[in-house]
Amino acid sequence: EAQVTQNPRYLITVTGKKLTVTCSQNMNHEYMSWYRQDPGLGLRQIYYSMNVEVTDKGDVPEGYKVSRKEKRNFPLILESPSPNQTSLYFCASSLGINHEQYFGPGTRLTVT
């Protein structure tokens, strides 16, 4: 089944403790991205990647890192999480730049 998977689905952590949220797609998509969803703000793009080893900032990149060493994986790294990064995070992928994006199931992150 074609899908985007994220792990973990739920995470509660403390300020400053490094964490990684994984994202994987099995559709051989070139484009992948991360969004965060906050009430009243919709989804905002954090980072995106057009292909392996090619990443760029979205609208709200501060406090996040990403890497794209393999085509199927696009992990989101929070080196030193803070409470303002408490949010719902979505990974998305698409075949290319002008193609429909497929979203993962979301990761609910709480930073205390």
Partner 1 sequence: AQTVTQSQPEMSVQEAETVTLSCTYDTSESDYYLFWYKQPPSRQMILVIRQEAYKQQNATENRFSVNFQKAAKSFSLKISDSQLGDAAMYFCAYRSPNAGNMLTFGGGTRLMVKP
Contact indicator for 110, 98 with CB cutoff of 8 Å: no
Closest CA to 48 of 65, 29, 69, 31: 31
Contact with partner 1 (CB under 8 A) among 11, 19, 50, 52: 50
Place of tokens 């973990």: 8
33 binds partner 1 (CB under 8 A): yes
What amino acid occupies position 41? L
Pick out residues in 53-72 that bind partner 1 (CB under 8 A).
56, 58-59
Using DSSP's 3-state secondary structure scheme, residue 73 falls into: strand
The minimum distance between CB 74 and partner 1, in angstroms, equals 13
- Residue ranges binding partner 1 (CB under 8 A): 31, 33, 35, 40-45, 48, 50, 56, 58-59, 88, 90, 92, 94, 96-101, 103, 105-106
